[in-house]
Amino acid sequence: MKVLIAPNAFKGTLSAEEAGAIIASFCDKNYSGLQTQVIPIADGGDGTCNLLSKFLNLEQVNAWTLDPIGRPRIGFFGFEKASKKAYLDVSTASGIALIGDSQKNPWVTSTFGTGLLIRKAIRMGAKEIILGLGGSATVDLGLGILQALGFVFLDQNGREVLPFTDQVQQAISHIQSPVPMPNIHFTCLCDVRNQFFGNNGAIPVFGPQKGLKSEELSTFEVSSEKNVTLLFKKAKKEFVDRSGFGAAGGIALGLSAFFNTDIEFGSPYFFERIGLEDLIKESDWVITGEGRYDAQSEDGKACFELLKLCRKHGKKSVLISSGEEGEKAGFDHFVKLEDLDFLSQSLKNDAETALLKSLSLQLDLQ
């Protein structure tokens, strides 16, 4: 019997690769005659481009960059010389996991470090940047990336507005474009369909997670509206909000003002690149999982998209997840994880123990 083990990341605890290895080890030890294959999956969330780079066996390029609040760190991206494509996760340099709760502040946090890595890729000959938008710490409309690519933002007195200051969102009055303009195409992978503005937009939905206080939301939205107007006026384009512009604090929105920018919803893009549908066809059981399956999961997340492929080809499926909603999601078997204490000093070990315990008590591949 062939078993395909294709988990998403168990957010905040185990990476997709770590979860896959644990599940495969359990199956190999407890079931005889199984042929297991581990293919970690992603949907545009944190680590999507890193997984793609590993699957495609790309060269990993390391380079110094800056984190969301301007501290130096080593970043990386995958580079495909033949196609001149670079695969880069925003979370590598501008991720929310890189800063503490007290440092979360969208008035200050910047995508400038991501821009430095993009600039490095362009200098290496990249013509397209595949940009995974998941896990960002920012709501800066990609202004930091633009600054790293040579755009200069000025206040009303003609002074340059520097990244990682609390002036970026409110003080910009003029924009100077680089000469020459970088010749680059962006493909942005995202796992949410929110537009940037509106009640379901980036600021009210994701802003509080990234440090915005409730009393700041309206002021931040006004500043963002002003900056979007400036960007598209400079680009001589009409602004139209789009599904996916709300991902990663509007990065695709800001880039689209000046560059050819496509938005891809991560699951279909990722699945096609790794040939996941063919792997499902060859399997008897497919085991997937994520930290918590919920209503958002059915809006393009990896586990739900995988379920649709299993149904299409008549394959049995297992979901491993915490929460109750996975029970009614339509998988053939549901393995419920116990809730964890995310403040625990041994969180990763707790997650591994909980996963193994749940598998031993609930997994049934008969």
Q: How far apart are CA 22 and CA 37, in angstroms?
A: 12
Note whether 230 and 109 are same-domain residues.
yes
Could you list the beta-strand ranges (E) of the chain. Answer: 2-5, 35-38, 59-66, 72-80, 85-89, 128-132, 152-154, 174-176, 185-190, 260-265, 285-292, 316-322, 333-336
Please give the pLDDT value at position 87: 98
Please give the pLDDT value at position 286: 97
Note whether 224 and 330 are same-domain residues.
no
Please give the pLDDT value at position 310: 96
Q: How far apart are CA 168 and CA 226, in angstroms?
A: 12
What tokens appear for 63 in the block?
């380079």
Please give the pLDDT value at position 132: 96
What total of structural domains would you count in the chain? Answer: 2
* Residue carrying structure tokens 């993009």: 118
Give the distance, in angstroms, between the CA of residue 366 and the centroid of all CA atoms in the same chain.
35
Choosing from 237, 267, 297, the residue where a domain stops is 267
According to DSSP, the residues that pair with 289 across neighbouring strands are 320
CATH code at position 293: 3.40.50.10350
Note whether 233 and 281 are same-domain residues.
no
Q: What percent of the chain has pLDDT over 70?
A: 99
Choosing from 244, 267, 290, the residue where a domain stops is 267
Per-residue model confidence as pLDDT tens digits over 143-196: 999 999 999 999 999 999 999 999 999 999 999 999 999 999 999 999 888 999
What tokens appear for 253 in the block?
């929105």
Per-residue model confidence as pLDDT tens digits over 259-275: 999 999 878 999 999 99
According to DSSP, the residues that pair with 155 across neighbouring strands are none
Q: How far apart are CA 168 and CA 224, in angstroms?
A: 10
Note whether 166 and 257 are same-domain residues.
yes
Note whether 293 and 180 are same-domain residues.
no
The residue segments making up the domain with residue 160 are 48-267
Phi first, then psi: give them for residue 257, nearest 5 degrees. Answer: -65, -35
Choosing from 246, 267, 288, the residue where a domain stops is 267
Note whether 192 and 312 are same-domain residues.
no
What tokens appear for 266 in the block?
């991560």
Q: Which of 81, 102, 100, 10 is nearest to 47 (CA)?
A: 10
pTM over 0.85: yes
Note whether 177 and 261 are same-domain residues.
yes
Tell me the pairing of strands 59-66 and 72-80: antiparallel
Q: Mean pLDDT, consecutive 10-residue segments, the chain of 366 residues?
A: 94 90 95 93 91 95 98 98 97 95 96 98 98 95 98 97 94 96 96 93 96 96 97 97 96 98 91 95 96 76 92 96 89 92 85 92 86
Note whether 134 and 157 are same-domain residues.
yes
309 in Cβ contact with 276 (< 8 Å): yes
